[in-house]
Structure 1
Amino acid sequence: MKSTFTSLFVFILLLAVGGCQKKTDAATLANPDVMHTSVRKLTDVMVHDVFSPPVASRVYAYANIAAYEALVPGYPNYQSLAGQLKNLKNLPKPDPGQAYCYPLASLRAFLTVGRTLTFSGDLVDEFEPQVYQKYKDAGLDEEVYNRSMAFGDSIGKKIMEWADQDGYRETRGRRYTVVNNPGKWQPTPPAYMDAIEPFWFKIRPFVLDSCSQFKPAVPSTFDVRKESDFYKEVMQVYETGNALTTEQKVIASFWDCNPFVMHNTGHVMYATKKISPGGHWINIAAVASKKAKADFMKSVETYALVSIALADGFISCWDEKYRSARIRPETVINNHIDKDWAPLLQTPPFPEYPSGHSVISTAAAVTLTSLYGDKFAYSDSTEVAFGLAPRQFTSFNQAAEEAAISRLYGGIHYMPAITNGQTEGQQVGDFVISKIKTRKSAKKPAQVAQVK
């Protein structure tokens, strides 16, 4: 029995590396750590390039979809996303009867797309040889190596052709016209930056029927009379900000995720770079995959599904942001309550409603829960690189709830933007996992691969 089990294990492992040749270190070829390292590198490049949250989500989505599509031919129980994502079709196929190392192809596709969609391609160029050398050092046959790299290239090229048709180019260089109507968004201190991505609603969704499919409830009417609902919402932000506990300050800072924070020192203004909200959740996806000891395929599946939920979450959220164009608490409080008040966090340069972190965090949590279960405890070390201690969570939903309420503690959102944003994110996440089927089994991923 033991011998039979060992033979079966070897067979499955060889199948998992999708044709990687004998006389190689099969465990190295199928080790997902190299994918986790590559995803982290892409995050670092986007932090360096100061990508806005919506744009960063687009990069993650296309790069991780490319990784998934180059890997999936080596895993018979999984299926392509072609025909499931909008306008994704006719992807290249591997040559029948030929050996491939699909993990290598997956990395090649991921890094090719990541390089193309970021500014600092030289940083990817410096990193790539280290990735591929691992496969050479593991003894991968040269013909298989070259064939796998070529297949990854072909997938990457096709994904970029698909990306080029999503409306992104048409939104470049278009600026938002600020209106002085009461209750409408105005640029905020300290840099009074232009509004970010005012035409993001024109980007083609990945799964959603349209950008307005899950349009949130209309926010309360702007009204600064003390008896109005809006004024009460403003006062909640003001009073909360004036009485923050140490823990609330820690929570707000942990989930800040503002890619470009401006600082004033005398007459000098400078900026610090941070991870985006989507980047934070991509790192949580990595944490979950590692803790669950997910193999290469499930790790890539996780990145792809979370990336899609994040990308569609931003498209949905940004659609409402520029429809309601809601004024930020800082502006209202300075104009009507306390001219010297400042929020704990720097107000990001786009309209207030709904809360982007509430939308995308909830959507990501829904997706991760479908893959790893509801009782998945983990330590989130994402912000350690930015000088903050790890935080412990008993579930992805708990983390999403904390991310959402952090926006009230930070003084940058009214409560309805948070609660209605969570509802919108739940709808987006539910829709994504209901529409995308990565497994050929009729069972959902949560039923197939739940972590006990």
Structure 2
Amino acid sequence: MKVKGAATFVLAALLITWTAGCNEALDPPPTYPAPISQETGAVVVDWMDLIVDRVQAESLSPPEASRIMAYTGVALYESLLGGMPQQQSFGGQLEGLGELPAPKPGVDYDFETVAHAAMQHLLPIYFPSEASRAAIDAFARAQLQAREETGINAQVRERSRAYGVLLAEVIDAWAYADGYTEVHLASYEFSDQPHAWQPTAEGMQALLPGWGKLRPFALSSADACAPPAPPPFETLAHSALYRQALAVWNASRTMTSDQEHIAHFWADGAGTLTPPGHWMRITTQLLRARSERLDHSAETVALVGVALADAFISCWDEKYRSNLLRPVTYINAHIDPTWTTLIASPPFPEYTSGHSNASAAAATVLSAQLGSFPFADRTHESGELGLRFYQNFDDAAQEAAISRLYGGIHYPMAIDNGMPQGQCVAHQVMDRVTTRRPSE
């Protein structure tokens, strides 16, 4: 509670400082802000691509990556909001986020400069390495220089930069109060119960066991979309859990080359762009390819980021509650002691599947935002994995989910129940958040 109180004080102080400066001399009759809604979403797409690149460079975990994408997506949206007259703020709609400071009336802004300044200030907090800071600063400087070269006067540029920094500080204060510090440091003791998850590699430590306690973004609670409980632990051949494990074992014995390719295409393991990064990359690929408008691009990136973050909170809440052992542990003990997985089992409990959760959440939002159409996923285009083609977002999500069965790391039930869990998260996000102003 002390942390939240401190964050509230910081937010109040920032707002007071900003509003106190509203009496500055007015510019000549404003020529800015011209609505930027009709422009392409390059400013949003380019920044989010850089964010995904830094997620990979810093080897962040999937939950951490999803949190960053949510906060930065909201920050991008809010920094451009003043130039998008048909859109409305996330303020007052997401957990813990109050009213955000508005641009000062009667003066000019360049909202792309606002966005670049906000990202330049905010991103080093999430990506503190020297290499990341240098990459962020270099990109921001280049973008700000490009805005200057369009002829925007110095006073407007400086005012816009100051407003961007203010918004970044408000978003940072909001994030500071979400419980991340406590969650990140949470400890974990392995259980000796027969159903319980056990390390599947020497020295393995539980990844973020407290993540389900993180403040959600749009969910009313972490368990708002909780799936059915997994079946009880049993080893008899007719038992539900045995049949689940046997399905994993059988799948590995009949694996096709395409199924093996699918397992690797969606693996997104340690040191990669992560599953949420993969879905954000799909998002930016399509926004760029379709030349989506700036307002729609900013809205889509923010909603996808929030849905991904809440999907991981929901999933991790269930993972460490049910605390179910991985298929390899069960199969080695009760079916085949020599069996191994195609993809290494990750360092957290099995149920439900994070890939299924996140993929279903992202696909549901993208379907609502962009519609249903065939597309190519170009995430691995430059590497050995190449492209894969899908009829629509749900088709891609289903393949991402089943990839974990092919990889040998999830029971079918973790996939079958994980996808509705992610869909539930997405619907709760979209039901709670209204980004369009009511028609007058």
Match of 1:448 in 2: none
Match of 2:26 in 1: none
Amino acid at match of 1:358: S
1:81 partner SS: coil
- Counting only pairs closer than 5 Å after superposition, residues 148-297 of structure 1 correspond to structure 2 as 148-189=160-201, 191-258=202-269, 260=270, 273-297=271-295
Contact 1:63 1:109 in 2 (8 A): no
Amino acid at match of 1:333: I
Contact 2:356 2:422 in 1 (8 A): yes
Structure 1 stretch displaced more, 305-314 or 291-300: 291-300
Rounded to whole Å, the distance in 2 between the matches of 1:49 and 1:284 is 20
1:249 partner SS: helix
In structure 2, do the counterparts of structure 1 residues 225 and 125 end up closer, same or farther at CA, with 3 Å as the change threshold?
same
Rounded to whole Å, the distance in 2 between the matches of 1:93 and 1:129 is 24
Match of 1:350 in 2: 348
Contact 2:33 2:109 in 1 (8 A): no
Unaligned ranges ≥5, structure 1: 1-11, 19-26, 261-272, 444-452
Contact 2:33 2:111 in 1 (8 A): no
Match of 1:304 in 2: 302
Report the number of matched residues: 407
Contact 1:43 1:275 in 2 (8 A): yes
1:437 partner SS: coil
1:289 partner SS: helix
Q: What are the Cα deviations for residues 398-423 of structure 1, in whole angstroms up to 9, with x where unaligned?
A: 11111111111111100010010011
Contact 1:192 1:349 in 2 (8 A): no
Match of 2:65 in 1: 56
Match of 1:80 in 2: 89
Rounded to whole Å, the distance in 2 between the matches of 1:285 and 1:110 is 19
1:248 partner SS: helix
Rounded to whole Å, the distance in 2 between the matches of 1:295 and 1:126 is 26
Q: What are the Cα deviations for residues 98-147 of structure 1, in whole angstroms up to 9, with x where unaligned?
A: 11111221232234322211232333223321222221233322222111
- Counting only pairs closer than 5 Å after superposition, residues 379-394 of structure 1 correspond to structure 2 as 379-394=376-391
Deviation of the 1:330 alpha carbon: 1.2
2:393 aligned to 393, 396, 402, which one?
Answer: 396
Contact 1:103 1:296 in 2 (8 A): no
Structure 1 stretch displaced more, 293-302 or 408-417: 293-302
Residue 413, structure 1, aligned to residue 410, structure 2: yes
2:48 partner SS: helix
Match of 2:363 in 1: 365
Match of 1:5 in 2: none
Rounded to whole Å, the distance in 2 between the matches of 1:153 and 1:305 is 22
Rounded to whole Å, the distance in 2 between the matches of 1:69 and 1:38 is 14
Match of 1:105 in 2: 114
Contact 2:116 2:140 in 1 (8 A): no
Deviation of the 1:31 alpha carbon: 4.5
2:189 partner SS: coil
Structure 1 stretch displaced more, 219-228 or 417-426: 219-228
Deviation of the 1:204 alpha carbon: 0.5
1:125 aligned to 132, 137, 156, which one?
Answer: 137
1:381 partner SS: strand
Match of 2:148 in 1: 136
Rounded to whole Å, the distance in 1 between the matches of 2:117 and 2:301 is 16
Match of 1:22 in 2: none
Residue 44, structure 1, aligned to residue 42, structure 2: no
Q: What are the Cα deviations for residues 41-100 of structure 1, in whole angstroms up to 9, with x where unaligned?
A: 111111111111101111111111111111111111100010111121131111111111
1:180 partner SS: coil
Match of 2:337 in 1: 339
Rounded to whole Å, the distance in 2 between the matches of 1:40 and 1:348 is 25
In structure 2, do the counterparts of structure 1 residues 442 and 317 end up closer, same or farther at CA, with 3 Å as the change threshold?
farther
In structure 2, do the counterparts of structure 1 residues 282 and 73 end up closer, same or farther at CA, with 3 Å as the change threshold?
same
Rounded to whole Å, the distance in 2 between the matches of 1:167 and 1:442 is 37
Contact 1:408 1:414 in 2 (8 A): yes
Match of 1:265 in 2: none
Unaligned ranges ≥5, structure 2: 1-30
Contact 2:307 2:425 in 1 (8 A): yes
In structure 2, do the counterparts of structure 1 residues 186 and 243 end up closer, same or farther at CA, with 3 Å as the change threshold?
same
Rounded to whole Å, the distance in 2 between the matches of 1:377 and 1:16 is 32
Match of 2:5 in 1: none
Could you list the runs of 4 or more consecutive aligned residues of structure 1 that deviate by over 3 angstroms after TM superposition?
none
Higher RCO structure (Cα 8 Å, ≥6 apart): 2
In structure 2, do the counterparts of structure 1 residues 327 and 386 end up closer, same or farther at CA, with 3 Å as the change threshold?
farther
- TM-score normalised to structure 1 length: 0.86
Q: What are the Cα deviations for residues 382-410 of structure 1, in whole angstroms up to 9, with x where unaligned?
A: 12355321111121111111111111111
